[in-house]
Protein backbone atom coordinates (compact mmCIF):
# COMPACT_ATOMS: atom_id res chain seq x y z
CA UNK A 1 0.00 0.00 0.00
CA UNK A 2 1.48 3.33 -1.09
CA UNK A 3 0.52 5.84 1.60
CA UNK A 4 2.09 8.70 -0.36
CA UNK A 5 -0.88 8.60 -2.76
CA UNK A 6 -3.39 9.41 -0.01
CA UNK A 7 -4.55 12.98 -0.60
CA UNK A 8 -8.34 12.93 -0.17
CA UNK A 9 -10.98 11.27 1.97
CA UNK A 10 -11.85 9.01 -0.96
CA UNK A 11 -8.26 7.70 -1.00
CA UNK A 12 -8.53 6.77 2.68
CA UNK A 13 -11.80 4.90 2.12
CA UNK A 14 -10.47 3.12 -0.99
CA UNK A 15 -7.49 1.77 0.97
CA UNK A 16 -9.66 0.35 3.75
CA UNK A 17 -11.80 -2.33 2.09
CA UNK A 18 -11.53 -4.67 5.09
CA UNK A 19 -12.69 -2.08 7.65
CA UNK A 20 -16.25 -1.60 8.92
CA UNK A 21 -18.21 1.52 7.99
CA UNK A 22 -17.72 2.78 11.54
CA UNK A 23 -13.93 2.31 11.34
CA UNK A 24 -13.82 4.05 7.95
CA UNK A 25 -15.74 7.04 9.35
CA UNK A 26 -13.36 7.26 12.32
CA UNK A 27 -10.29 7.12 10.10
CA UNK A 28 -11.67 9.70 7.64
CA UNK A 29 -12.55 12.07 10.51
CA UNK A 30 -9.04 11.61 11.92
CA UNK A 31 -7.51 12.19 8.46
CA UNK A 32 -8.99 15.72 8.57
CA UNK A 33 -7.12 16.79 11.74
CA UNK A 34 -4.56 19.38 10.59
CA UNK A 35 -0.95 19.65 11.67
CA UNK A 36 -0.63 21.46 14.99
CA UNK A 37 -4.15 20.53 16.12
CA UNK A 38 -5.63 17.68 18.15
CA UNK A 39 -9.04 16.19 18.65
CA UNK A 40 -10.44 13.91 21.34
CA UNK A 41 -11.95 10.46 21.09
CA UNK A 42 -15.24 12.01 22.18
CA UNK A 43 -15.13 14.76 19.52
CA UNK A 44 -14.40 12.20 16.79
CA UNK A 45 -17.35 10.11 18.02
CA UNK A 46 -19.58 13.19 17.89
CA UNK A 47 -18.35 14.16 14.41
CA UNK A 48 -19.32 10.76 12.99
CA UNK A 49 -22.75 10.81 14.64
CA UNK A 50 -22.01 8.31 17.42
CA UNK A 51 -21.57 10.59 20.45
CA UNK A 52 -21.31 7.79 23.00
CA UNK A 53 -18.84 5.66 21.05
CA UNK A 54 -15.59 7.23 22.24
CA UNK A 55 -14.15 3.88 23.38
CA UNK A 56 -14.98 2.32 20.01
CA UNK A 57 -13.23 5.27 18.35
CA UNK A 58 -10.11 4.50 20.41
CA UNK A 59 -10.28 0.84 19.36
CA UNK A 60 -10.63 1.78 15.69
CA UNK A 61 -7.64 4.11 15.90
CA UNK A 62 -5.59 1.45 17.65
CA UNK A 63 -5.91 -0.61 14.44
CA UNK A 64 -5.08 2.28 12.06
CA UNK A 65 -3.18 0.82 9.07
CA UNK A 66 -2.62 4.25 7.48
CA UNK A 67 -0.53 6.01 10.15
CA UNK A 68 0.98 8.61 9.86
CA UNK A 69 -1.15 9.78 6.90
CA UNK A 70 -4.22 9.23 9.07
CA UNK A 71 -2.75 10.97 12.15
CA UNK A 72 -4.21 8.95 15.01
CA UNK A 73 -1.45 10.35 17.23
CA UNK A 74 -3.40 13.65 17.16
CA UNK A 75 -6.36 12.12 19.03
CA UNK A 76 -6.19 12.36 22.82
CA UNK A 77 -8.39 11.86 25.85
CA UNK A 78 -10.67 14.74 26.87
CA UNK A 79 -8.25 15.70 29.65
CA UNK A 80 -5.39 16.02 27.14
CA UNK A 81 -3.65 12.83 28.18
CA UNK A 82 -2.51 10.12 25.82
CA UNK A 83 -4.32 6.81 26.17
CA UNK A 84 -3.03 3.31 25.70
CA UNK A 85 0.18 1.59 26.61
CA UNK A 86 2.76 3.88 28.24
CA UNK A 87 5.51 3.56 25.62
CA UNK A 88 3.11 4.17 22.72
CA UNK A 89 1.48 7.08 24.56
CA UNK A 90 4.89 8.69 25.09
CA UNK A 91 5.69 8.27 21.39
CA UNK A 92 2.42 9.99 20.41
CA UNK A 93 3.11 12.79 22.89
CA UNK A 94 6.52 13.43 21.30
CA UNK A 95 4.97 13.47 17.81
CA UNK A 96 2.31 16.08 18.61
CA UNK A 97 4.82 18.16 20.54
CA UNK A 98 7.10 18.14 17.49
CA UNK A 99 4.10 19.30 15.42
CA UNK A 100 3.72 22.38 17.64
CA UNK A 101 0.98 21.25 20.02
CA UNK A 102 1.60 22.70 23.52
CA UNK A 103 2.30 20.07 26.18
CA UNK A 104 2.16 20.69 29.91
CA UNK A 105 2.92 17.99 32.49
CA UNK A 106 2.82 15.28 29.81
CA UNK A 107 -0.63 16.31 28.52
CA UNK A 108 -1.88 18.48 25.69
CA UNK A 109 -2.63 21.95 27.01
CA UNK A 110 -6.22 21.98 25.81
CA UNK A 111 -7.57 25.19 24.22
CA UNK A 112 -9.95 26.20 21.46
CA UNK A 113 -6.95 27.18 19.34
CA UNK A 114 -5.60 23.65 19.10
CA UNK A 115 -8.81 21.61 19.30
CA UNK A 116 -10.20 20.41 15.99
Residues 72-83 pLDDT 10s? 999 999 999 998
Confidence of residue 1 (pLDDT cuts 50, 70, 90): low
pLDDT (average), residues 65-92:
93
Is 7 within the bounds of a domain? no
| Residues linked to residue 107 through DSSP beta bridges, in sequence order | 104
Catalytic site positions = 72
Is 96 within the bounds of a domain? yes
Burial 59-80 (b: 16+ CB within 10 A, else e): ebbeebebeebbbbbbbbbeeb
- The CATH number of the domain where 91 resides is what? 1.10.10.10
Burial class (CB in 10 A: 0-12, 13-18, 19+), 101: buried
Residue 2 has pLDDT above 70, yes or no: no
Question: What is the pTM assigned to this prediction?
Answer: 0.92
CA distances from 79 to 21, 38, 76 (A): 28, 12, 8
Number of Cβ within a 10 Å radius of residue 107 = 15
Domain that holds residue 45: 13-108
Is 5 within the bounds of a domain? no
How many structural domains is the chain composed of? 1
Amino acid sequence: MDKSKIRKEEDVVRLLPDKTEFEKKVLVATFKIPLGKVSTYKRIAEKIGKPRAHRAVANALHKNPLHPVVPCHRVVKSDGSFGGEKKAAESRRRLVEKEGVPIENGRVKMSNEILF
